[in-house]
Amino acid sequence: MTLAPLILALLTAPAVADEGVDALSDPTRAVATYRQMGWEMHQLAKRDAWTGVERSYVRMVELGLDLSHEDHVLGATSASGMGNAAETLARLKRAHAAGESRAVIEWMYRLDTKYGAVKIIDERKRPATLESSETHFMPDANKAVQFAIAEVEDGVFEGLLPAGTYRYGRDEIVVSPDEPAELIYAKK
């Protein structure tokens, strides 16, 4: 028996269902979509196309199904590549819940011990600029700083930054894994 008819049915299910024929139920369609998206995500990861991996991961999460350990690790890798350390940690925790691995535990430990929580809310007309007082040599740390700088341009950043000293306008922020840092500026 060939798989071609089954694959054709899975690929055309939404069009058939829209025509009033209930060929596949919604859960079956979601599983088929999940499998297709997972395959695409793994192919994109092989080519280091992390923006595409991110898109696929987000769409897979939106399906509401349980993702695999590997899917969450790829999602964490794409979030890390964009510099979103807080989302990286959240995805690593989901990966750990789906299946243990030493690499995930070590990655979570590194984020927990070398990064700190930061919240900057600036409602003024011209938000200040975030600057790091230190040079970060690790690519993921440097990307996390660049991500925060870009986010705070819109007046809000809530996430993780590598431990160290930062300047936001005239204020200094000391980021530590032990204590959250917070700056809030109201409209003037």
Q: Report the mean per-residue pLDDT for the chain.
A: 87
Q: Give the pLDDT score at 134.
A: 84
All CATH 1.25.40 domain ranges in the chain, comma separated: 4-111
Average pLDDT score over residue span 169-177:
95
pLDDT at 90 over 50: yes
Q: Could you give the angle at the alpha carbon of 41 between the alpha carbons of 22 and 156, nearest 5°? A: 105
Does residue 143 have a pLDDT over 90?
yes
Distance CA 182, CA 188 (A): 19
Task: Answer yes or no: is pLDDT of 93 > 50.
Answer: yes
Q: pLDDT-based confidence at 137, cuts 50/70/90?
A: confident
The more confidently predicted of residues 28 and 106 is 106
Cβ-Cβ contacts under 8 Å for 38 (sequence gap 6 or more): 56, 60, 68, 71
Q: What is the mean pLDDT of residues 126-141?
A: 89
DSSP bridge partners of 141: none
Residue 113 pLDDT exceeds 70: yes
Q: Assign 168 to helix, strand or coil.
A: strand
For residue 182, give every residue at least 6 positions away whose Cβ sits within 8 Å of its Cβ, in sequence order, or none: 118, 119, 120
The answer to whether 37 and 71 are in contact (CB under 8 A) is no
- Any idea which of 12-16, 35-39, 123-127 has the lowest mean pLDDT? 12-16
Architecture of domain 4-111: Alpha Horseshoe (1.25)
The predicted pLDDT at position 2 comes to 53
- pLDDT surpasses 80 at 13: no
Q: What is the pTM of this model?
A: 0.81
What is the three-class DSSP state of 178? coil
